[in-house]
Chain A
Amino acid sequence: AQKVTQAQTEISVVEKEDVTLDCVYETRDTTYYLFWYKQPPSGELVFLIRRNSFDEQNEISGRYSWNFQKSTSSFNFTITASQVVDSAVYFCALARSGNTGKLIFGQGTTLQVKP
């Protein structure tokens, strides 16, 4: 069975703090894809990253970074020097190879960044 767990329901930080959002997944597949999406209060889903299971290199994009560890089935997301505009719900998702349009989403983590 495929499953994504985001154990942190809500996180509140003060602006400029670093924050890490946890994502743990379950799959028996050897090939799969992991995603992170941001859903701001306006409701649209903003794509942040897709990573395939064969690429364990960490990714950095500006203030965002992702740590993929197959050994612990985790794909954590860190925001450095958080800003108020980072306030949103963040979703981690899993897709099987060959079915990359069929995403299994975690429950989401609500991040509130206070000024």
Chain B
Amino acid sequence: EIVLTQSPGTLSLSPGERATLSCRASQSVSSSYFAWYQQKPGQPPRLLMYDASSRATGVPDRFSGSGSGTDFTLTISRLEPDDFAVYFCQQFGSSPLTFGGGTKVEIK
């Protein structure tokens, strides 16, 4: 099983600041099989990024993804109030599909 470790667990930032979220895999993952999701309280997750760096429909361009192999990054260039949420990474190239434990981006 591929274990995904996200860091930090919590990121305390102010609106307008840059957020950098990390996801490290225990084994190499093809970027074609890597995604990021956003979840707000009381809501289901929403697909944010796929293929590690492609934005899903409707996702603003302040979100960007990068990485390959075992290290992946989600960057939010300038935080908007709507961006404060929990973010999960996922790999779906190897069964079982696995998610990271999540990074909470909170208002400082």
Tell me whether A and B are bound partners.
no
What is B's interface to A at a CB cutoff of 8 Å? Answer: none
